[in-house]
Amino acid sequence: MSTLDKDYENDPTKDALDDDEIDDDELTQDWSKIAALSKKNPNYTIPKRGEKDAVIDGTNAQELLLNNARNEMFEALENSVRGTMIKSQVKAYYLPLQHEAIVPHPKGNFLQSMGKADKQGRVFLKFHEFLYLAERGTITPYQTFCIQDPDSLEEQTIELQLSIQDLYSFFKSQDESDNFLVFAYLKRLGFIVNLTDSNDCDTTSFFPPPKKSILSNILNIYNTIRSIFTFHKLSLFNAFFYSKWNFLFNRYTTSGQIYVGLKKLIPFFKAPHTRYDLLSLNSQHKLSSDTSHKKQKLSNINFKPLKITFDVWKPQSNYKKKVPGLPDYQVVVFNKNDPHQRFPTYLEMRKIFDSLDYKFEYLSEITDDLSWNKYSYTNGMLRTAYLSSIKAKAQQQRSSQNPNNPKSKKKKNSRPTSQFVLQNRRLKNGYRSFLLCVIDSGIISFVKISETDFGSEDVWYVPPKNIKKYNK
Amino acid sequence: MDEKLELVRNNLVHYQQWEDVRVSPASFQWEGENIQLIIGKPSNSEREECVLPVEYSQYQESLLTTNLIDATFTNLVSEEFERIVLAIIGDDGTVVFYYITRGTSTI
Amino acid sequence: MAKGHTARLRYKYPLPIHPIDDLPDLIPQNPLSWAYWTYCYLTKVNYLKFRIPVEIIGQKYVHILVRNSYHMQYLWENGFFGTGQFSRSEPTWKNRTLERLNIGLTNTRINTLSNNTIPETLQLEEITKRRRMLRIEFKQQREKLEKQLLQLRKNNGSIEEEKELLEKEREMLRDFKAKQSLIDIEHSFNNNERLEDFELIDTNGNIIELEALELLPVEAIFLTFSLPVLNISVQELCSRLVPKPVQNIKYDDIQLLIRKYIVYHHYRSRGWCVRSGIKFGCEYLLYKRGPPFQHAEFCVLVLDAEESQDYTWYSSIARVIGGARKSLVLCYVHNELPEKNILQLWKSGNFTELFSKFNVGEIVYKRWVPGKNRD
């Protein structure tokens, strides 16, 4: 990989791009490296990526180069061997009625993050998991059929191996196919991906289950009333600022005071900054039936509202399939080519923000990964309690979290970060966020959409007191 | 001379330091606006350029479409010019310049 | 008023309305001090002693100009309002032209020059100019090389020759980069008085003030409605901005202007210096204190809360802004009232209530690369 990077460094068009977000993920494979391995013609090298001309120059030099590059790729692929050893073959049978697959003799590492086992030890795979594993060669796809012998009228069960084309034909909708594309993409990169709606495991939520005590009811009513004032509304007093007598009667001794008068004009959507904010927002939504999104014009019936499709975890070795915990990210899938889908409007984004339930990493109360167990709830109880109750082997730490591991990444507060840095971080990174996965004719790209809150941050300059001494 | 021509002309002469700047007399109407070119020579080049001033407003619809550019090439730009310079006048008087090359002709 | 101030002192006040910060010190025990302090408090006002007149030209596309040079300086130094028509941002055209033409070094006192020290703003313009020239030179050389390459291909040149040329190109790039980092201020003020420059000089040999400071429409609204700075009423300004007779105004004529103003006010009132984002393809740029202090970190696009664009629109702007290492903020405006109420408020001139009937929400839009977030 290092030689590829060096080539990239010497690329003259690199400065034209000058964007360090173009990374190895995007560079298409440089087949010339593999071609060089095949030693057919060591003198002939394929020009590196980037040395393309944009102008039509009337020669077919470009086409020749392209053809050569393409041929090298096909040759490299043709000579590779694919298949599995009989000993390690794992068969999976497609069940058309449930649109799932059953693995009678499961074995392999994939079981750590995929599939649901039943009491007899057989594993059921969701269709997208089935297709993904079949494509990789981890399992071999089969289907059983009952056929009737026309002569003896006996019924026989036979099993036929399915091809990948067969599997692709089993998709029930474009959406399912889109979702599979995203699932496979992320899995190949090492992430752990689950459907948000799946009922296969005990779900963990950031939000506590609704309590039925009187105290909590009062708290809920209080919060609902408070929510009316979440938008800072214009009061009569503030309106005075814009009248012509404002500066006649009022004396402002600092610029800050003038700003305070100015900023009270326009209400804004305030984001939940702390855990308390998140929890009270959540309980309000449980009470009211979406009143904070009132006045929404009848949303165009032609467009499907987007919703969260996947929960994603970063690659980790101690993922517990049955009790996964809060995901690291949540993904909303958006197909650009579908005429019934459109890029979310702000109101639609707010709906998504309000339904998010993942590790809200911006919370300052939670300083390292393990503390999430204290702040999430599984099956109605605090996760730490739940884990100890099922006697899970939960104390294995992720290798990067192991304090003895030199690469451990605990957030160390060795130096207190300045106010400005923290403020900038809040503004740039925002609060709740989700990943919008955009599919454009099969090409996948991700956008991180985070709510931010400039309304809550004052950035006007406060001069130090001693400046006065230098005044004219 | 309407405001946009005057603004861009002054910008070219006194800010960009172009030489020999003059407003070309030919013009045509497009959606109620007058479309005219300014011709001049940039300070560090040997060729003259054709400049098309277009107003841009934050809160109003803009005239700028590919159809307008096409019409400009057809009606105003003489054959010897391969490209024009689009001078977009922002709300705050800033003028941003872009080269627009004549498209390749289709049979 | 000596202009040798550092940026901190020159740009002391972030707004054109100044706070009363020179009240005398109060000595609690001394009743005289109390009396004096109260007297000062009552007589000083935040009000500006003068109102800045503006000239509005244009019919459909209006330009709001400030011509007086003292006013231009005042608006720039107290909040970085407006842009010089012939400058990058701060209106420095007059001084630069005086420099270029070498006029008035003896008669007019140019307060930006003293003992051959060149002030920062002129330096910046020069540096930018030099860099641009170098870039153009490089592009010309590159074009030549490309032509050579094409020739070679047409004549079926060998691959070695092609590689040679490409290597030359890479070398050129390295040279160019080295030169860029070496640019310093070797001012060569050629006394090149061109023909065109004679139209700048009036009968007394002084330079005409050709450059005006131009304000964005939303800046002008801010400087009339929110802070009384300009010498024009809000109603008159709005009637010029939306040049239709009041009874014919439709919601579509005003909705964009209102939305842009709401966002402008939202950020200005928190202390941001908000400027036009036309150079980056966005609506506004947010500066922490002002352009001389730091580069803008945020680019703002304004949308209606129920608006949805084609994905290409978002992604292309995000690319441009990402390439400039800035953050893209999508700022949404949601109206709380139905359209006809808004129209009614506008027509009756009740702007205070009008602007308070909108909610603002923002999101940050950022490309996410899975490979970089595996941790």
Task: List, for residues C235-280, the tens digit of each pLDDT value.
Answer: 999 999 999 898 899 999 999 999 999 999 999 999 999 999 999 9
Q: Are C271 and A460 in contact (CB under 8 A)?
A: yes
- DSSP reduced 3-state for C89: coil
Q: Residue C275, exposed/middle/buried by CB under 10 A (0-12, 13-18, 19+)?
A: buried
Task: Judge contact between A345 and C306, C-beta under 8 A.
Answer: yes
Q: What's the pLDDT at A374?
A: 85
Cα separation, A360 vs A358, in Å, equals 6
Tell which of C270, C273, C284, C303 to mutate to test the A interface (max A CBs under 10 Å): C270
> Does residue B107 fall inside a structural domain?
no
Q: Please tell me whether residues C20 and C87 are part of one structural domain.
A: yes
How many CB atoms neighbour CB A67 within 10 A?
A: 11
Which tokens belong to A423?
């403020």
Q: What is the pLDDT of residues A49-77, one digit of tens each?
A: 555 555 666 667 778 888 888 888 888 77
Q: Rounded to an integer, what distance in angstroms lies between the CA atom of residue A251 and that of residue C42? A: 8
> What percent of chain A lies above the pLDDT cut of 90?
36
Q: Average pLDDT of chain C?
A: 83
A271 or C176, greater pLDDT:
A271
Residues C296 and C267 in one domain: yes
- Regarding beta strands A123-126 and A100-103, do their DSSP bridges make them parallel or antiparallel, or are they unpaired? antiparallel
* CB within 8 Å: C314 and A343: yes
Give ∠ CA C58-C237-C14 in degrees, rounded to 5. 110
CB contact under 8 A, C86 and B11: yes
Q: Which residue, chain included where needed, has tokens 């101690």?
A: A318
Asked if C218 and B58 come within 8 Å (Cβ–Cβ), the reply is: yes
Judge whether B64 is closer than 8 Å to chain C, CB to CB: no
* Residue A248 clears pLDDT 80, i.e. is over it: no
- Given this model, what pLDDT does residue B32 score? 86
List Cβ neighbours of C258 (8 Å cut-off, separation of 6 or more). Answer: C342, C346, C354, C355, C358
Q: How confident is the model at residue A387 (pLDDT cuts 50, 70, 90)?
A: confident
**Binning pLDDT at 50, 70 and 90, where does residue A373 land?**
confident
Residues C30 and C163 in one domain: no
More confident residue, A379 or A175: A175
Tell me how close the Cα of A155 comes to any Cα of chain C, in angstroms. Answer: 51
Report the 10 Å Cβ neighbour count for A116: 17
Q: What does the block give as tokens for C38?
A: 């109260």
Which amino acid is residue A168, in one-letter code? Y
Asked if C164 has any chain A CB less than 8 Å from its own CB, the reply is no
CATH number, domain of B51, equals 3.40.1350.10
> Smallest Cβ distance to C58: which of B3, B44, B92?
B3
pLDDT computed for residue C115 by the predictor: 41
Q: How confident is the model at residue C368 (pLDDT cuts 50, 70, 90)?
A: very high
**Pick among C359, C365, C372, C374 to test the A interface (most A CBs inside 10 A):** C359
Q: What is the ipTM of this complex?
A: 0.90
Q: What is the pLDDT of residue A35?
A: 55
Inter-chain touch B21–C260, beta carbons under 8 Å: no
Nearest chain A residue (CA) to C222: A262
Query: Does a structural domain hold residue C201?
Result: no
What is the tens place of the pLDDT at every residue in A258-317?
899 898 888 999 999 999 889 888 887 776 544 444 444 445 678 888 999 999 999 988
Q: Which residues on chain C place their C-beta less than 8 Å from a C-beta of chain B?
A: 57-58, 60-61, 63, 82-87, 93, 97, 133, 136, 194, 196, 200, 210-212, 214-219, 241, 256-257, 259-260, 275-276, 278-279, 283
CA angle C354, C358, C364 (to 5 degrees): 145
Separation CA A41–CA A335 (nearest Å): 43
Confidence of residue C149 (pLDDT cuts 50, 70, 90): confident
What's the pLDDT score for residue C80?
A: 94
Query: Cα separation of A352 and C363, whole Å?
Result: 13
Q: In this structure, is the dihedral angle defined by the CA atoms of residues A318, A323, A327 and A331, taken in order, positive or negative? A: positive
Residue range C112-129: average pLDDT?
A: 56
What strand order describes the sheet that includes A100-103? A116-117, A123-126, A100-103, A91-95, A140-148, A155-161
Please say whether the beta carbons of C50 and C58 come within 8 A. Answer: no
Residue C155: what pLDDT? Answer: 79
Tell me what pLDDT residue C4 has: 40
Smallest CA-to-CA distance from A367 within A314, A405, A410, A418 is with: A410
Whether A343 sits inside 8 A of C288 (CB atoms) is no
Report the alpha-carbon distance of residue A277 to residue A362 in Å, rounded: 13
- Tell me if A261 sits within 8 A of A241, measured CB to CB: yes
The active-site residue, picked from C147, C279, C295, C366, is: C295
| pLDDT reading at A14 higher than 60 | no
In chain C, % of residues over pLDDT 70: 86
Number of structural domains found in chain C: 3
Residue C116's pLDDT is what? 43
- The 10 Å CB-count burial string (b at 16+, else e) for A154-191 is eeeeeeeebeeeebeeebeeeeebbbbbbbbbbbeeeb
Q: How far is C334 from chain B (nearest CA, A)?
A: 17
What is the model's pLDDT at position A414? 57
Give the chain C residue nearest B97 (alpha carbons).
C279
Interface test with B, best of C66, C133, C196, C262 (most B CBs within 10 A): C196
Burial (Cβ within 10 Å: 0-12, 13-18, ≥19) of residue C258: buried
Q: Is B21 on the interface with C (CB under 8 A)?
A: yes
Calculate ∠ Cα A15-A18-A21, nearest 5°: 145
How close does chain C come to A8, measured CA to CA in Å?
Answer: 13
Subunit contact B91:C276, Cβ cutoff 8 A: yes
Q: Does residue A338 surpass a pLDDT of 90?
A: yes
In a shared domain, residues C360 and C270: yes
- Contact residues, chain C, for B10 at CB < 8 Å: 85-86, 210
Nearest one of B58, B3, B92 to C216, comparing CA atoms: B92
Q: Which residues of chain B have pLDDT under 70?
A: 105-107
Report the residue of chain A nearest C225, measured CA to CA. Answer: A242
Handedness of CA A422, A427, A428, A432 (dihedral sign): positive
Question: In the complex, which subunits touch C with 3 or more CB pairs below 8 angstroms?
Answer: A, B
Domains of chain A listed by start with CATH number: 91-189 (3.40.1170), 190-208+269-472 (no CATH)
pLDDT at residue C195, as a whole number:
65
Task: Give the three-state DSSP class for C36.
Answer: helix
| Cβ–Cβ gap A268/C14 under 8 Å | no
Confidence at residue A84, expressed as pLDDT on a 0 to 100 scale: 67
Q: Inform me whether the pLDDT recorded for A78 exceeds 50.
A: yes
pLDDT at A395 over 60: no
What span, in angstroms and rounded, lies between the C-alpha atoms of C229 and C47?
9
Our answer to whether residue C70 is catalytic in this structure is no
Q: What is the pTM of this model?
A: 0.81
Both tokens of residue B65?
């479409």
Residue in this structure with the two tokens 């003895």, named with its chain if needed: A404
Kindly state the DSSP code that residue C372 receives in the 8-state scheme: G
Q: Which residues of A touch C289 (CB under 8 A)?
A: 461
- Whether residue A225 is predicted with pLDDT greater than 60 in this model: the reply is yes
Q: Are residues C73 and C217 in the same domain?
A: yes
What is the arrangement of strands in the sheet containing C327-335, beginning at the earlier edge strand?
A192-195, A308-313, A329-335, A433-440, A443-452, C358-368, C327-335, C298-304, C284-287, C273-276
Q: How confident is the model at residue A451 (pLDDT cuts 50, 70, 90)?
A: very high
Quote the CA–CA distance of A321 and B21 in Å, as a whole number.
74
E strand map for chain B: 19-30, 33-41, 49-55, 83-89, 95-101
Q: State yes or no: pLDDT of A182 exceeds 60.
A: yes
A102: its two tokens? 């059953």
Looking at the 3D structure of chain B, how many domains does it have?
A: 1
The answer to whether residue B95 is domain-embedded is yes
Least confident residue range of A460-464, C184-188, C364-368: C184-188
**Chain C within 8 Å of B13 (Cβ-Cβ)?**
yes
The residue among A242, A340, A349 with the most chain C CBs within 10 A of its CB, best to mutate, is: A242
Structural domain that includes position C179: 120-186
* Closest-CA distance of chain A to residue C267, Å: 8
Same structural domain, C286 and C168: no
Contact C359 A231 (CB under 8 A): yes
List the subunits that have 3+ CB pairs under 8 angstroms with A.
Answer: C
Work out the minimum CA distance from C375 to partner chain B, whole angstroms: 42
Residue of A nearest to C142 (CA): A12
Q: How confident is the model at residue A4 (pLDDT cuts 50, 70, 90)?
A: very low
Angstrom distance (rounded) from CA A192 to CA A23: 22
Chosen for mutation from C149, C158, C311, C375 (greatest number of chain A CBs closer than 10 Å) is: C311
CA dihedral C290, C8, C209, C185 (to 10 degrees): -90
Question: Are the C-beta atoms of A338 and A306 separated by less than 8 Å?
Answer: no
Q: How confident is the model at residue C284 (pLDDT cuts 50, 70, 90)?
A: very high
Active-site residue identified among C11, C284, C326, C332: C326
Say what the pLDDT of residue C113 is.
Answer: 42
Q: Is residue C336 part of a domain?
A: yes
Pick from C232, C264, C293: which residue ends a domain? C232
Candidates C93, C133, C276; nearest CB to B92: C276
pLDDT at A49: 53
Q: Decide which of C367 and A53 is more confident.
A: C367
Q: Residue C363 and residue A449: Cβ atoms within 8 Å?
A: yes
Q: Which of A137-151, A197-211, C45-59, C324-338 has the lowest mean pLDDT?
A: A197-211
- Annotated catalytic residue C168: no
**Chain A touched by C320 (CB under 8 Å):** no
Q: How confident is the model at residue A466 (pLDDT cuts 50, 70, 90)?
A: low
Q: In the predicted model, is pLDDT for residue A399 greater than 50?
A: no
Confidence (pLDDT) at A370: 75
Cα–Cα distances in angstroms (integers) from residue A156 to residues A93, A101, A159, A311, in the given order: 17, 21, 10, 42
Active-site residue flag, C265: no
**B63 alpha carbon, distance to own chain's centre:** 13
C177 in the same domain as C269? no
Say how many CB pairs under 8 Å bridge A and C. 238
Q: pLDDT at residue A469 above 60? A: no
Strands A155-161 and A308-313: unpaired
User: For residue B43, which residues of chain C lie inside 8 Å, CB to CB?
Assistant: none
3-class DSSP string for C265-292: HHHHCCCCEEEECHHHCCCEEEECCCCC
Instruction: Place A222 in a pLDDT band, splitting at 50, 70 and 90.
Output: confident
The yes-or-no verdict on residue A15 having pLDDT over 90 is no
User: By C-alpha distance, which of A361, A372, A304 is closest to A338?
Assistant: A304
Which CATH number characterizes residue C305's domain?
Answer: 3.40.1350.10
Q: Is residue C198 part of a domain?
A: no
Confidence of residue A126 (pLDDT cuts 50, 70, 90): very high
Whether A206 contacts A326, CB under 8 Å = yes
Tell me how crowded residue C282 is: count the other CB atoms within 10 A of its CB: 21
For residue C166, being part of any structural domain is answered with yes
Catalytic residue among C261, C264, C287, C332: C287
The pair phi, psi for residue B30, each rounded to 5°, is: -145, 110
Residue B58 is part of which domain span?
3-101
Closest to C372 in 3D by CA, of A435, A320, A332, A397: A435
Q: Which residue from C266, C224, C79 is spatially nearest to A255, judged by alpha carbons?
A: C79
Q: Which residues contact C201 (CB under 8 A, 6 or more apart)?
A: C101, C103, C207, C208
Alpha-carbon span A346 to C306, nearest angstrom: 6
Taking CA atoms, C269 is separated from A5, A471, C328, in Å, by 47, 26, 20
Residues C223 and C257 in one domain: no
The residue ranking higher by pLDDT, C73 or A403, is: C73
Would you say A130 and A92 are in contact if contact means Cβ atoms under 8 Å apart?
Answer: yes
d(CA A28, CA A33): 12
pLDDT value of residue A382:
85
C287 touches chain A (CB under 8 A): no
* pLDDT mean across residues, chain A: 78
User: Does C364 touch chain A if contact means CB atoms closer than 8 Å?
Assistant: yes
Q: Work out the mean pLDDT of chain B and round it to a whole number.
A: 90
C93-110 per-position pLDDT tens digit:
988 888 877 654 433 334
**Amino acid at the residue C129:** K
Lowest mean pLDDT among A105-109, A279-283, A409-413, A461-465: A409-413
**Nearest-angstrom CA–CA distance, C277 and C294:** 15
Per-residue burial over B6-30, b if 16 or more Cβ lie within 10 Å, else e, is ebbbbbbbbbbbbeebebeeeeeee
Contacts of B17 in chain C (CB under 8 A): 194
Query: Which DSSP symbol is given to C195?
Result: G
